[in-house]
Chain A
Amino acid sequence: MLRLMAPSIASNVIVPQLRQFHASAVCCKLQSGRYKITPKRDRPLTYEMANPPYYIAHRKSWNSWDTTSLLDGQRAAETSVEDVFIHRFMTGTWHDLFCSEVIIKRQHNLIRIAGLIRQGLPARKMYFLIGYSEELLANWLQCPVKLELQTVENKETTIFKYI
């Protein structure tokens, strides 16, 4: 109605847009941590991916272990940002080697970083990267950091199922 009336009003007046009241059903879509089935059923999933988030603490566990979410937990924001940093640092430094999520466990002032890596490098070079990652992260986060890696032959060994 307003729009019809518009031409009759002077051109320099801004007409407010009318918004329609939305009345459709609520979209309860949950997407994160879930994977779509492909037509050919050939999308490989690891065990971690195969279990949607509501299975955390039932069939799988958390990727970050710390006490920030407990009562009187400290440094919640800093810890999350650090965890993102650690995740990016690890996947970047160990390029194309991680076959699982980077698991970050904090105990007192110690950070333990676990994960599965592919045997894509000679063991000697892996030791170099272990020493490098531990030392650099320790200096960056200013606390002792330890890597607890397990190796698997190739990425295919971590496939749990295809969907």
Chain B
Amino acid sequence: MMSYPNLNALVWQHLFRNARRLQSVWKSGRPIVPNGNSFSTEAKEIAIPNYIPRGPTDILEALASTVKRDPTAPHYKFHDDPYLIPASNHAKRSYALAQEAGRKAANWIKQEHAELFQHRNAEPFIEAFSPAEKLAETTPMTEDLLKKYIHTSQVANAIHVYGKLDASALSPETRQSFLEFVAFYNEEDQLNEDFIEERWFKSGMKGKDQIRQTWKNNGLAETVFNSMERKTPEAYCALICGMARHGKAVGAWEYYNQMLAEGFTPNLTTYNSIFKIAGIVREDAEHQIILIDETLRSMVHAGIQPNVRTLNSILESISRIPIYRVAREKSLQVLSDFKTIGVKPSLGSYYFLLKIFCREKGPINNILVGIVNRLEYEMPPLQDLHDVAFFAEAMRVCNYHLEDVQLAKRLHDLLCLPQNQTLIGDSYKESIYYRCFLLLLTRAEGPEALMEMYRHLVPNIYTPEQNVFEAVVKSIAECSAVQYVPELWSDAVYMDMGERESILEVLLEALASGSGPDPKTVSDKDDVDPVLATARAIIAHVDNFLKVAEEKDRTTSLRWTGSMLGNLAKVFLQYGDVASANGIMIKVNTLKNQLSSFFPVATLNKFYESCIERQDSAMALMAIAYAVEMGYDESSSMAKQAREQLKLDERQQQKLNSILGSTSTTSEES
């Protein structure tokens, strides 16, 4: 309680001081700003900045830009509870889609029992909460209903209503908007925009790269167009854009020519569509470029200012030209032309530039360095559908084309900016991006730097695929950075990869790549070295898995292999865990015919030497037995050593003889 008066006094003092300063401002009638460094009497005019017009979402954007992706927490779409946090890629996908399936089920119930959802709680009422009206026989078909369906993009319903109405009685505007609507959606209902997960996991890249023809030939759009007595330029434009969008290039081209012949001027979107299909209507590169130039010229005549999408459409066409030199020259020329008329390229333009310049098996081109330089200076806003493809493609180029890890890191820093989070695209592009990034790091970085980035990305931002994880482990093994292997093993278990043979193989290889315990560090007796503990955990995990699989009659591809057991034995010998090493030897002897690879000779020798050291004849005999069975050359020298250095009793002598069989008896006689 004592501190309150003091605090109050401080606050009052502060206020009073400020008030005095304010008073002086009022008195002079002119704002006085004290100099930052000293309280001199020099006064400066405050320059009031000009009013900046703000949009309705500017505050939201500013707030959003302060939120960064937290790598220590799962994505916000998942529930923040240990049981509900997904680890593997499969779990991430199925949990997100399961939640969406639940939402769909709820929506279905709302539709089925629409009569129960007629109450109006919300004020003002929100249309989305009420069930969609069903079309019944008794519903009066009006033009307004058609307009409403067009407005809310319900394609099937709109087509139904249009079918019932007398087309000639409709106003020209409605007919035009219906034509645009049908041509844009190609008479198909779209996936609801609310189902973001389904959109996210639908591989966006596949199929979109090549234009496939999905346009409905002689469909409703063409019927509507043909039924118009007077063909307006807008109607032509709608049809051409629709056809180009849905892969009917030849049809679009025909209508385009027809339109020009009638003396109409196409609009900007139509020109953009024509640029997009230029590569399809003209087979060879030369004619394609002529077509692009001609169309550009006609745009100039029509007085239409091209925009960034025009640029992207042209670059898209050029990126399909197979001849490297032609494509490169033309794209640079187009780019500089657009620069002179003040059209700045967007990320999509850069995406196509990368496709043009950095081709598989093409000469190496480091155009990406320039692009990243420019992006670091100024990031263009999202303007085109292809913008989101840039980062995945750029990282792919960094990995396979340039192999430049510094550039990749700069690119990643760009993506990590809060406002750029959305530019990653969809789940498919995201996985390409991170896969290329990690693969590049495994090749180019040392273990510390690699693990730092690995910890940042895995498992919340990205779950590595099997081959990427193997690459990480291999890179760790090459540097003998055995201290990271325990962490990688626990990650492998967490991400459901602990039962895969290839993963276990590389992990054990990495585990055995060390040089044993550091003699400098004095450890407690009860303190188990993490590497040793990992080796034991792997044995226990695999044995348990095999046991469960056997009990439940599950088929499993996982088997112990000789190299896996060899690496385990090596680790145990390094760390002086004799009991576990003996256990491995017994396992080798019982499984010897089932092992798919041989127990390595070097480890066998080491094990044998340790047996001799501690005078363990039983284990030594077991090692000799394995060596003889596998036909290792060392078996005879091992037997000799056994006779000389081990104290063998009568039975063991006999056993040794029986193991060695005829080969050793001959050597004994000689």
Interface residues of A (CB under 8 A from B): 109, 119, 123-136, 138-143, 147, 149-151
Contacts and interface: CB of A to CB of B under 8 A. Distances in A.
Nearest to A126: B84
B185 interface: no
B461 to A, nearest CB: 20
Given A128-B102, A149-B84, 12 more contacts: A123-B91, A127-B84, A128-B101, A131-B101, A133-B106, A134-B106, A135-B107, A136-B109, A138-B129, A141-B121, A142-B120, A142-B121
A142 B91 CA distance: 31
Nearest to B102: A131
Contact of B122 (A126, A143, A149, A151): A143
For the complex of A and B, list the 7 residue pairs with the smallest distance between their C-beta atoms, beginning with the closest.
A131-B102, A132-B102, A135-B106, A131-B99, A136-B106, A142-B122, A127-B98
Interface string B95-106: 110111111011
B79 A132 contact: no
Interface size class of B (residues with CB under 8 A): 20 to 34
Contacts of A132: 102-103, 105-106
A150 B82 CA distance: 9
B98 A128 contact: yes
A143 B123 CA distance: 10
B629 to A, nearest CB: 47
B94 interface: yes
A132 B107 CA distance: 9
23 contacts: A119-B83, A123-B83, A123-B84, A123-B86, A124-B94, A126-B84, A127-B84, A127-B95, A127-B98, A127-B102, A131-B100, A131-B103, A132-B105, A132-B106, A133-B102, A135-B103, A136-B109, A139-B106, A139-B107, A139-B117, A140-B117, A141-B121, A151-B83
A114 B500 CA distance: 39
B646 to A, nearest CB: 53
B106 A123 contact: no
Given A131-B103, A149-B81, A142 B129 contact: yes
A132 B106 CA distance: 5
Chain B interface main SS type:
helix
Contacts of B121: 141-143
B47 interface: no
A131 B83 contact: no
B126 interface: yes
B288 to A, nearest CB: 48
A134 B106 CA distance: 9
Given A119-B83, A135-B107, A150-B81, A142 B126 contact: yes
A149 B98 CA distance: 16
B443 interface: no
B103 A139 contact: no
Contacts, number: 80
Given A135-B107, A138-B129, A139-B110, A129 B102 contact: yes
A90 to B, nearest CB: 14
Nearest to B122: A142
B110 A136 contact: yes
Contact of B81 (A139, A143, A151): A151
Contact of B99 (A119, A127, A141): A127
B548 to A, nearest CB: 18
A149 B82 CA distance: 11
A130 B100 CA distance: 9
Contacts of B101: 128, 131
Contacts of B83: 119, 123, 151
A129 B117 CA distance: 20
B599 to A, nearest CB: 40
A131 B81 contact: no
A151 B106 CA distance: 23
Contacts of B107: 135, 139
A158 B102 CA distance: 28
Contacts of B109: 136
Nearest to B125: A142
A139 B122 CA distance: 10
A70 B103 CA distance: 34
Contacts of B103: 131-132, 134-135
Nearest to B82: A151
B90 to A, nearest CB: 10
B190 to A, nearest CB: 20
A66 to B, nearest CB: 15
Interface in B125-146: 125-126, 129
Interface in B67-117: 79, 81-84, 86, 91, 94-96, 98-103, 105-107, 109-110, 117
A131 B84 contact: no
A138 B122 CA distance: 11
A132 B84 CA distance: 16
A125 to B, nearest CB: 7
A151 B98 contact: no
A128 B97 CA distance: 8
Given A132-B103, A132-B106, A124 B129 contact: no
Contacts of A126: 79, 84
Q: Which of B99, B121, B122 has the most CB of A within 10 A?
A: B99
A130 B102 contact: yes
A151 B102 contact: no
A124 B122 contact: no
Interface string B150-166: 00000000000000000
A140 to B, nearest CB: 7
B84 A151 contact: yes
B99 A130 contact: yes
A142 B118 CA distance: 11
Q: Which of A131, A149, A150 has the most CB of B within 10 A?
A: A131
Contacts of A140: 117
Given A124-B95, A142-B122, A143-B122, A130 B79 contact: yes
Q: Which of A119, A125, A127 has the most CB of B within 10 A?
A: A127
Interface in B317-362: none
A133 B102 CA distance: 8
Nearest to B197: A131
A149 B84 CA distance: 10
Nearest to A136: B106
